[in-house]
Structure 1
Amino acid sequence: MGPESVIDLFRQALLVIILLVSIIVVPSLITGLIVSVFQAATQINEQSLSFIPRLLVTFLTLILAAPWLSSIITDFTHSVFDVIPQLIG
């Protein structure tokens, strides 16, 4: 087990984490930006107006992307289990 293989496994894990989080967070950020521009243009200063659309978009994104996200996690887990004998031996 060399340090290169551990670093490569750690790099793959970080890339999977970044991919999964960005799929969930980016639509929420875009929605928050659109609502903020709308609030600035209309001078409506209501906190729930920015919270509720972001919450709904996040839930909708989770519902729509759940099969793809679970396949990404499953593929990474299978690849880790396949590499374990090489890391040990």
Structure 2
Amino acid sequence: MIERLCELYGECIALSSFPSQEIVYDFADLARMATDDAMESKLRESGFGYRAAYLHRAAKNLHEIGGELWLNELANETYDIAKQKLQQLPGVGPKV
């Protein structure tokens, strides 16, 4: 699933030639995911099932609260505080 998410929302960064030609993508771009109104349907078509709605809402929410900057700031928090903040994102719970 991660590979498909990167194909849909990442940038092509390399063309591997060993053992066969394969396109390599960087990780999915948060802004691209957050602003794509068709993201949920694209993910469902790609086999993400019920996760599609959670991923789209989490991307939008994360983008709105600061994106990568917000995530980097979690490194300064205690484990418990960081966990609590992450669990406020849609689809993130104690097991995820």
Q: Where on the TM-score scale, by shorter chain, does this alignment land: which range? A: under 0.3
TM-score by length of 1: 0.28
Choose between structure 1 and 2: higher strand proportion.
Answer: 2
Higher relative contact order (CA 8 A, sep 6+): 1
TM-score by length of 2: 0.26
Choose between structure 1 and 2: higher helix proportion.
Answer: 1
Q: Computing the radius of gyration over CA atoms, which structure comes out larger, 1 or 2?
A: 1
